[in-house]
Structure 1
């Protein structure tokens, strides 16, 4: 099966269409006008986040619908599928930056992995900024925009963006971190990374537990303490999500998708998908 055909509709445009830079910040209203022809399910090959200061309508990330509200922020990682249905009154900021934007700047190349909202987990990528943090959030984004427009050194802009990410982390993750142990947090993050790498070939929680040197029961307990789902549910949800992403591409038939996800036969894949999604793959595709 041709690998390039396994990818759904993609937005393959550069971060900045004019300057080919590795970071782009824009006024949300202007960005929507520039990209009004992109209102269809698509992917990015870069990190993307939007902060709404006002607006209505909805945006759709990995087939989940979210109503817009003031000071809502969402983060997307490369590979997620999204589109939007705005009503035209949106205001705010949009920032895109490349996957390797910090790699030459930080000694730890995996530094961004510490931020849960940059890991593409649907339960963590969207939230509303608390009122006491809103003014400072806007201030940092304005600094990035001003520095970018003035042609300031790239490392200075990187520092401002990292400041924003750290500020958002402090304002949103403090309570969760206070109720978790460093060990459990590391295990949970490691499990999520393993699932992301192996979900096509490895579908049993016990195999992941062996790799993490813990028991399946312990793994389940950690997963439930974080997001209320068992390890098996997390694995199944990731497989179904990938199936939905592939179903966006109508050039792929169901047999090819089942093969890509390493199911032994089409019928088992169809039963698996329907049990989790409530629809057969064909019904889901028609719904799209």
Structure 2
């Protein structure tokens, strides 16, 4: 592995693409982009629906099985790689951050889909046969549009892709009934957005509770009721995730990473990381580089 984790833009990948979107049968895509078997990041949104194949994948250092009927979604910036034990097949779509901007007025439209939350456990779904059939038909229509001799109707592709998202969101809502837009769900979504914007500066639940105009106890109860973890754990997990992403780059010294994450000094960062990951940052870095 190179000293820096590769970051791929949609324009750098081989396969069919048209103005901000790349659509492909997965086996063909992988044969043209074998470098993606190693840990990497994307600057674009990414989804794969597997119809064949088995193995394992990692999304932000969490492991998930690969199997037929599984679909996963990724947002820009996440670290990812695959390890297949049998030959995979399926459908793949990559699209740019701005892909829907000419169709939708809402700039944050994708954020309403829980599978685009950036939380790995919500991004990987095993679909029942009836949902598989629905989205397979839609994926085939998207592929046909891309292969058509006439100019691609980009708005049609966008609408078809939104149909995929809506079908998956409806299914996911049956698994996670709390996803309905209740007051508490809105609070939780706002808390997660605040963490994403402030995790390097604000590391205490009471700081976020103040921004949300609720008490720390209310915030903690909210997180425990909906997610089964404390508010402090969510903040800490986001800091640890960023630490892991930074550690993949061996050109960054541990002290520089501690500084980027606003720890008072390197030793405090090492102690913090070891407490929750059960290994030092340096040992974690070696395990990623050498694949142990």
Q: TM-score, normalised by structure 1?
A: 0.93
In structure 2, C-alpha distance between the alignment counterparts of 1:105 and 1:180, rounded to whole Å: 25
Which protein has greater RCO, CA pairs closer than 8 Å, 6+ apart?
1
CA-CA distance at 1:267 after TM superposition: 0.5
Q: 2:143 aligns with which of 142, 145, 148?
A: 145
Q: Gaps (5+ residues) in structure 1?
A: 1-6
In structure 2, C-alpha distance between the alignment counterparts of 1:119 and 1:188, rounded to whole Å: 12
In structure 2, C-alpha distance between the alignment counterparts of 1:195 and 1:205, rounded to whole Å: 10
CA-CA distance at 1:13 after TM superposition: 4.9
Q: Is the 8 A contact 2:10 2:96 kept in 1?
A: no
CA-CA distance at 1:172 after TM superposition: 1.4
Q: Secondary structure at the match of 1:43?
A: strand
**1:59 equivalent in structure 2:** 57
In structure 1, C-alpha distance between the alignment counterparts of 2:180 and 2:156, rounded to whole Å: 34
In structure 1, C-alpha distance between the alignment counterparts of 2:85 and 2:175, rounded to whole Å: 34
Bigger shift: 62-71 or 185-194?
62-71
Cα 1:154/1:59, change in 2 over 3 Å: same
Cα 1:25/1:181, change in 2 over 3 Å: closer
Q: Is the 8 A contact 1:15 1:96 kept in 2?
A: no
Q: Is the 8 A contact 2:9 2:44 kept in 1?
A: no
- Superposed, which structure 2 residues align to 1:22-61 within 5 Å? 22-61=20-59
CA-CA distance at 1:57 after TM superposition: 1.3
Q: Is the 8 A contact 1:9 1:248 kept in 2?
A: no
CA-CA distance at 1:131 after TM superposition: 2.0
Q: Secondary structure at the match of 1:106?
A: coil
In structure 2, C-alpha distance between the alignment counterparts of 1:24 and 1:15, rounded to whole Å: 11
Q: Secondary structure at the match of 2:47?
A: strand
Q: Gaps (5+ residues) in structure 2?
A: none
CA-CA distance at 1:129 after TM superposition: 0.7
In structure 2, C-alpha distance between the alignment counterparts of 1:13 and 1:159, rounded to whole Å: 20
In structure 1, C-alpha distance between the alignment counterparts of 2:206 and 2:256, rounded to whole Å: 28
Q: Is the 8 A contact 1:48 1:96 kept in 2?
A: yes
Q: Is the 8 A contact 1:57 1:85 kept in 2?
A: yes
CA-CA distance at 1:187 after TM superposition: 0.6
**1:217 equivalent in structure 2:** 217
Q: TM-score, normalised by structure 2?
A: 0.92
**2:254 equivalent in structure 1:** 254
Q: 1:95 aligns with which of 93, 100, 108?
A: 93
Q: Is the 8 A contact 1:55 1:70 kept in 2?
A: yes
Pairing 1:229–2:229 present? yes
Q: Is the 8 A contact 2:178 2:226 kept in 1?
A: no
How many residues are aligned here?
282
CA-CA distance at 1:285 after TM superposition: 0.9
In structure 2, C-alpha distance between the alignment counterparts of 1:29 and 1:177, rounded to whole Å: 35
Pairing 1:9–2:10 present? no
In structure 2, C-alpha distance between the alignment counterparts of 1:193 and 1:48, rounded to whole Å: 20
Bigger shift: 202-211 or 82-91?
82-91
